[in-house]
Amino acid sequence: MMTIKVNLDLEKEIQKESEKKIQNLINTLVEDLKKETPVKTGKARDGWKYNGKGIINDVPYIDDLNAGSSKQAPSHFIEKTLLSSAAVKPNGVIVSNK
């Protein structure tokens, strides 16, 4: 039987690199959503944020925009944008309205 003890510094470095990659992915998704959001005043575009639990946009009319109220973006542009990322694998609801 062989036992290998992993250096705790190595585990910390792997965790740090994983967190960095996840944060980069989140930042990319937020930027992609901003690019695809229709712009009249910029409020909806600038409303995209990551709050530690998920990507949110609390602008009151974001649901209307996602439903296709603007000629600048197709309906369901949020879902289409997220699903266009190879890193996003849907596992249930992609967009929820609260």
For 71-90, what is the mean pLDDT? 92
Q: What pLDDT score was predicted for residue 5? A: 66
CA dihedral for 18, 55, 80, 70, sign (positive or negative): negative
CA dihedral for 17, 85, 90, 26, sign (positive or negative): positive
Mean pLDDT, the chain, whole residue set: 90
Closest CA to 78 of 93, 19, 25, 91: 93
Report the distance separating Cα 75 and Cα 64, nearest Å: 9
* Domain limits, the chain: 42-90
Sole residue written with tokens 């000629």 = 71
Predicted confidence band of residue 75 (pLDDT cuts 50, 70, 90): very high
Q: Percentage of residues in the chain with pLDDT exceeding 90?
A: 69
Report the distance separating Cα 31 and Cα 33, nearest Å: 5
